[in-house]
A and B are shown apart, each in its own frame.
Chain A
Amino acid sequence: MTMATRGDLSLRVHEAKAQLDAHVQEMVEWHFNPQTGCPFWLEFATKLDWDPRLEIRRFEDLRKFPPFQDEWLRGGPMRRWLPKAFVDKPLYVFETGGTTGLPKSRLAIEDFRTDYEMFSDTLPDEFFPRGANWLMLGPSGPRRLRLAVEHLCQYRGGICFSVDLDPRWVIKLIKLGESDTLERYKAHVIEQAITVLGAQHDIRCMFTTPKLLEALAEELENRSTSIRGTGITGIFAGGTEFTPQYTRFAIEELLGEGVYLTPTYGNTLMGLACSKPVTSEDHYKITYFGPQPRAVIEVVSFDEMDRVVAYGETGRVRLTTLTRETFIPGFLESSGVRPFRKLAAQTTVGVY
């Protein structure tokens, strides 16, 4: 790295941190102000012996809050999460998990649209043409992904076609060892997708999961065609684990020339972390960029929740969501990951 580049990077790190700190102050003021905040956080503040609006001046100060409990997101009433400023807005509720017990829920108004519009800016028009129609071949039902992908498509000027897919049923079948039923369900979903793709809808772009992409490519090949042969040129994929090896396999053996694949990492609480273009020169390394300052992802020690681990080490994802609709300070995800450094600690945390 040259001196000039290093200096440029340091400046960007400094700017990003300053922007994040200012955003943190603004969001804390919003969520803990009785004129704008939601019942949950206003009531929470009454039990603290300190005032978040006075004491949270920068991102690190958020550690003064106790760890966010995911149980708080399970069950109703949903309106306890509704900021007073938004009481007249149409509301959505998005659920995560839910295979057993109560799912976690997040109230949403515009966040999912904002997240996906930001993501849209990262998509290359050559492969995701403006005005092209999309196929949403992924989880439907109470998940945010269904509406978000449809909005992404609409935002880019297209019409979104979709199929039903219930991931909770899929997980249940796996747990029950019902592999035959699982295969039939997958075939049922793929059959619907191929029907839509063959119906002259001029579908050029698709959201799907790694497993469904594999199954779709295989079935199309059985029918003597291919993903490219259906007219699809851009695939936005996510929803389950994405590895460099899978990405390489998909690009080299499932898609071939002329189809662009972009892996993403997202969840209902954070939003969407897009990846920089994945290339063979970079060994198909996947580097996700969190939607900072709207959400920050850190990888922290399993033992010391406030210690961000060094690059290359394994740790636990800590998510902080900072939008006017949702304030979640320090939510610890259950899975273990390693952070990958490319730019700087606070601006870029990748998960691979």
Chain B
Amino acid sequence: MPVLNIPILRWGQPYTSLETDDVVHFVTGETLARVSQANTGLLGRDMRLALHARHLLTEIPISELIAMMKKGADLFLHATLPMGDGAQTPEDFARQQSASTGLPEHMCKANMSKNYFVLSNMDKILDALTRGLDLNILTRGYGVGSRGVMVSYQAQAPVLGLVLPSNSPGVHTLWLPVISMQVGLLLKPGPQEPWTPYRMAAAFVEAGVPKAAISIYPGGGELGAEVVRRSNRTMIFGGTPTVARYRCDPRVQVHGAGFSKILLGDDVVGQWEEYLDVMVDSVFLNSGRGCINCSGIWASRCTREIAEALAERIGPVEPKPPEDPQASLAAFTVPGAARTIWNGIEAGLGEAGVEHVTAGFGPRLVEKQRCGYLRPVVIHCDSPESTLANSERGAVPAERDAEANRTHAGRHRHHLR
């Protein structure tokens, strides 16, 4: 397959940078795409046209934009769409996304279906998000709501800035409603996952959305910070430090590590076996990469039995080729990331009262030539004070993009008490 040259999109206008970043297949080392890298100044200058993006969208009734989203859904899932200087079929998309993010291909296809679902149900989703608001009120800025009361809604920013992650293609559904609310998109893709933003933009434009309503600026951490600085409203994905940095900034919606837990109360813990399936799925579906994946199961008793049962179920999981429909484990494609996370886990295993329950199922760290895998790790902690009971091991410390892309890696630890 020829290498795709993917330009920056400056309100729809392609711009080929003198700096590029190669997106590489994590198994074969094949260069899949050469992505133009934006300097921060480009973004700064282009923000002068952000208001124009909004104006273009407000000239299209929301009902028409919703129809475009539905058409875009079909195009995204089924069509061959422009991608840089080439074209991309849906099969290409799944293969390319898998090849750069490490997710098995069937999971990439599942994420495509998820995006399709959101786009094709945009009317219902907006209805839910706005609690049944007449959407023309968003365009007009005011109107009488369903309770007969005059209400006013004003856009706080002409475009929404998004600093997107590399390691969890599932999060893209969060920004899909933006265009249909007549707000432009300013996307900074994760270095390993340019595919969804570009394919989605191509589908939107093919469906009739003005191309000048969408900008895509690939780049490093500095660019992520610039998106936040320049946008009056931003959604950013990052690790705990990113969450801490933007916690009190009302302009920023920050999405960090999930710290999602299951609590089994004393009244039900005796029947823990009834909940084992939901525990396994919560922990390991989507290779444990989602922020809603469970990273800790807390209980008042029976914890060792629960840990052993979990270990029996997920301990044997092994890496499989990304095209294998049975593959359930995603690779870490950033060099050294898997080892760094494993080293952090190993350091915590030395504490008293901490036991590695999956130890008997073989080594957890599997290193390949260009990637690493961490097989599921179940750890039993006899105290809530243990270091591992209070840390999230999903982040990718070696991630290139310091600002944006540290969030949704797999979770590989389940502390029980």
> Which residues of A are at the interface with B, using a C-beta cutoff of 8 A?
177, 179, 183, 214, 218, 243-246, 248-250, 253-254, 283-284
Contact status of A249 and B229, CB under 8 A, knowing A177-B245, A243-B19, A283-B18: no
B245 x A249 contact (CB < 8 A): no
Which residues of chain A have C-beta atoms less than 8 A from B225's C-beta? Answer: 179
Task: State A243–B17 Cα separation when bound (angstroms).
Answer: 11
Q: Are A245 and B229 in contact (CB under 8 A)?
A: no
Give the distance in Å from the alpha carbon of A246 to the alpha carbon of B37 in the complex: 11
Please report the C-alpha to C-alpha distance between residue A29 and residue B22 in the assembled complex, in whole angstroms.
50
Residues of chain B with a CB closer than 8 A to A177's CB: 245
Minimum C-beta distance from A331 to chain B (A)? 28
Shortest beta-carbon distance, A284 to chain B, in Å?
A: 6
Instruction: List chain A residues, Cβ under 8 A from B17.
Output: 245
- In Å, the complex CA distance between A250 and B45 comes to 11
Smallest CB–CB gap between A225 and chain B, Å?
15
Nearest-neighbor residue (CB-CB) of B245 within chain A: A177
Which residues of chain B have a CB within 8 Å of any CB of chain A? 17-19, 37, 39-42, 44-45, 225, 229, 245
Instruction: Choose among B44, B229, B245 the residue that contacts A218 (Cβ–Cβ < 8 A).
Output: B44
Least Cβ–Cβ distance between A22 and chain B, in angstroms:
40
Main SS at interface, chain B: helix
- Which residues on the A side are within 8 Å of B40 (C-beta)? 214
Nearest chain A residue, comparing its CB with the CB of B46: A253
Task: Select which of B19, B41, B45 is within 8 A of A244 by beta carbon.
Answer: B19
**A246 contact set on B, CB distance < 8 A:** 39, 41
A-B contact pairs, 20 of them (CB 8 A): A177-B245, A183-B229, A214-B41, A214-B44, A218-B44, A218-B45, A243-B18, A243-B39, A244-B19, A245-B18, A246-B39, A246-B41, A248-B18, A249-B41, A249-B42, A250-B41, A253-B41, A253-B42, A253-B45, A284-B18
CA distance A248 to B36 in the complex (A): 14
A245 to B229, CA, bound (A): 21
A245 touches B44 (CB 8 A): no
Q: Is the CB of A249 within 8 A of B19?
A: no
Contacts of A243 in B (CB 8 A): 18-19, 39
Known A-B contacts A243-B39, A246-B41, A254-B41; A179 and B19 likewise in contact (beta carbons under 8 Å): no
- Cα–Cα, bound, A198→B27 (Å): 59
Known contacts A214-B41, A245-B19; can you find 8 more A-B pairs with CB under 8 A? A179-B229, A183-B229, A214-B44, A218-B44, A244-B18, A245-B37, A250-B41, A253-B41
- Give Cα A254 to B245, complex, Å: 31
In the complex, what residue of chain B is closest to A285 when comparing beta carbons?
A: B18
Note all chain B residues with C-beta closer than 8 A to A218: 44-45
Q: Mostly helix, strand, loop or mixed at chain A's interface?
A: helix
* B214 smallest CB distance to A (angstroms): 20
Most buried by B among A245, A248, A250, A284: A245
User: What is the CB-to-nearest-CB distance from B13 to chain A, in angstroms, rounded to a whole number?
Assistant: 13
List A contacts of B39 (CB < 8 A).
Answer: 243, 245-246, 249
Q: Which B residues are in CB contact (< 8 Å) with A214?
A: 40-41, 44
A200 nearest CB across to chain B (Å)? 29
In the complex, chain A residues whose CB is within 8 Å of the CB of B42:
249, 253
Q: In the bound complex, what is the Cα–Cα distance between A177 and B245 (angstroms)?
A: 7
Complex alpha-carbon distance, A329 and B346, angstroms: 44
Closest CB-CB distance, A282 to chain B, in whole Å?
Answer: 11
Chain A positions within 8 Å of B18 at CB level? 243-245, 248, 283-284
Smallest CB gap from A183: residue in B? B229
Nearest B-chain residue to A182, judged by Cβ: B229
Q: Which residues of B contact A254 (CB under 8 A)?
A: 41
For B229, the chain A residues whose CB sits under 8 A away are 179, 183
Cα A250 to Cα B44 with chains together (Å): 12
Task: Give the CA-CA distance A253 to B41 in the complex, in Å.
Answer: 9
A250 / chain B contacts, CB cutoff of 8 Å: 41
Distance in Å: Cβ of A36 to nearest Cβ of chain B? 47
Once the chains are docked, how many angstroms separate the CA of A148 from the CA of B137? 61
Could you tell me the distance between the alpha carbons of A183 and B42 in the complex, rounded to whole angstroms? 18
Q: List, in ascending order, chain A residues with CB within 8 A of B41's CB.
A: 214, 246, 249-250, 253-254
Chain B residues near A283: list those with CB within 8 A. 18
* Cα distance A244–B225 in the bound complex, in angstroms: 21
Whole-angstrom CA separation of A254 from B44 in the bound complex: 11
Q: In the bound complex, how far is the Cα of B17 from the Cα of A284, in angstroms?
A: 11
Instruction: Give the shortest distance, in Å, between A246 (CB) and chain B (any CB).
Output: 5
B41 nearest in chain A by CB position? A214
Contacts of A245 in B (CB 8 A): 17-19, 37, 39
Among residues of A, the one whose C-beta sits closest to the C-beta of B19 is: A245
* Residues on A with beta carbons closer than 8 Å to the beta carbon of B245: 177
Q: How far is the CA of A177 from the CA of B225 in the complex (A)?
A: 10
Please give the distance in Å from A244's CB to the nearest CB on chain B.
Answer: 5
Min CB distance, A154 to chain B, in Å? 32
CB distance from B344 to the nearest CB of A (A): 23
Closest chain B CB from A79 CB (angstroms): 41
Please, which residues of chain B bring their CB within 8 A of the CB of A249?
A: 39, 41-42
Q: How far is the CA of A304 from the CA of B391 in the complex (A)?
A: 40
Contacts of A244 in B (CB 8 A): 18-19
By beta carbon, the residue of chain B nearest A284 is B18
Q: How far is the CA of A246 from the CA of B40 in the complex (A)?
A: 9
Shortest distance between the CB of B6 and any CB in chain A (Å) = 15
Give A214 to B17 CA distance when docked, in angstroms. Answer: 18
Give Cα A183 to B226, complex, Å: 12
Which A residue sits closest to B36, measured CB to CB?
Answer: A245
Q: Which of chain B's residues have a CB closer than 8 A to the CB of A248?
A: 18
Contacts of B44 in A (CB 8 A): 214, 218
A242: shortest Cβ distance to chain B, in Å? 11
6 closest A-B pairs by CB: A245-B18, A245-B19, A244-B18, A214-B41, A177-B245, A246-B39
Bound together, the chains give a CA A246 to CA B45 distance in angstroms of: 13
| Across-interface contacts of B37 in A (CB, < 8 A) | 245
Smallest CB separation, A90 vs chain B (Å): 41
Contacts of A284 in B (CB 8 A): 18
Provide the bound-state CA to CA distance between A244 and B19, in Å.
8
Among residues of A, the one whose C-beta sits closest to the C-beta of B42 is: A249
Closest Cβ of chain A to B225, distance in Å, is 8
Question: How far is it, in angstroms, between the C-alpha of A243 and the C-alpha of B39 when the chains are bound?
Answer: 9
Give Cα distance in the complex from A244 to B39, angstroms. Answer: 11
Give the docked Cα–Cα distance between A253 and B15 (Å).
Answer: 13
Instruction: Identify the interface centre among A246, A250, A283, A284: most chain B CB within 10 Å of its CB.
Output: A246
Rounded to whole angstroms, the CA-CA distance of A218 and B45 in the bound complex is 8
How far, in whole Å, are A124 and B225 apart by their CA atoms in the complex? 37
A283 to B17, CA, bound (A): 10
Q: How far is the CB of B246 from chain A (nearest CB, A)?
A: 9
Q: In the complex, A23→B41 CA distance in Å?
A: 43
Q: How far is the CA of A253 from the CA of B43 in the complex (A)?
A: 12
Q: How far is the CB of B229 from chain A (nearest CB, A)?
A: 6
Of B41, B44, B225, B245, the most chain A CB neighbours within 10 A belong to B41
CA distance A249 to B42 in the complex (A): 7
Closest chain-A Cβ to B256's Cβ sits at a distance in Å of 15
